Amino acid sequence: MNIDALKAQVYAANVELAGTGLVMGTFGNLSIVDRAAGVMVIKPSGVPYHELTPGHMVAVSLDTGLALDDRYRPSSDTPTHLELYRAFPCGAVVHTHSEQATTLAQARRPVRCLGTTHADYFRGDVPITRALREDEVTTDYERNTGLVIVETFRQAGVDPSDVQAVLVANHAPFTWGPTAAAAIDNARVLEFLAAIECRILAMGVDVPRPDGFLIDKHYRRKHGPSKYYGQP
């Protein structure tokens, strides 16, 4: 895919993201990677969604992290996106400050997998990262945000293809997927699940975990070679 075509695709996806209600003001961003070309394209920094055009989108080298032109500055979250692309097998990354997921992120709470609604999309809890240390914030903050996400999945042994979402402690959610549409869908589902989790926490009850075989059954109905949900 040529750069202009990729910019048009990223622009359209950011407009779609804005239409979900998951972002407000200039919060949030979406990027798409072309691994064959070694390029990521992302929303520019600080430009309101209603002012965006395809020409605002910024191409960044996946290798060096440098913008390929200097017309616009890429999103400040660019280093986070780059670290996710370098570590996870995904094609698009979404970052929002959606209300319920951000509430849990700032409370340092995961979105627990407590039933089949969750398991239809994520095979287990959506994890919360550890808080960044002072040195990680003062130097290379956005890159370290990406690294702590990767660390969270590796230390817990969670496959980022099975759980395509995370909450960054004291910050907000990131989601990803093979395509921009999938990454946006994961962001929408995450917000829905976060709202359920917030309501469960507000009930103040001790909620038992469902058996793992139920979670696996619902996840595998929709994902992997044995899936049978939907049309062939």
Is 120 marked active-site? Answer: yes
C-alpha span between 119 and 110 (Å, rounded): 14
C-alpha span between 113 and 61 (Å, rounded): 36
DSSP assignment string, 75-122: PTTHHHHHHHHHHS--SEEEE---HHHHHHHHTT--B---SHHHHTT-
Do 200 and 113 contact (CB within 8 A), yes or no?
A: no
Q: Specify which residues 182 forms β-bridges with.
A: none
A 10 A CB-CB count for 142 gives 16
Token reading at 188:
């929408």
C-alpha span between 106 and 119 (Å, rounded): 23
Q: Which of 72, 120, 162, 185 is catalytic?
A: 120
Is 140 marked active-site? Answer: no
C-alpha span between 166 and 158 (Å, rounded): 11
C-alpha span between 144 and 172 (Å, rounded): 15
Q: Which of 140, 141, 159, 229 is catalytic?
A: 229
Token reading at 110:
């995961």
C-alpha span between 138 and 58 (Å, rounded): 25
Pairing of strands 29-34, 92-95: antiparallel
What residues are labeled active site? 120, 229
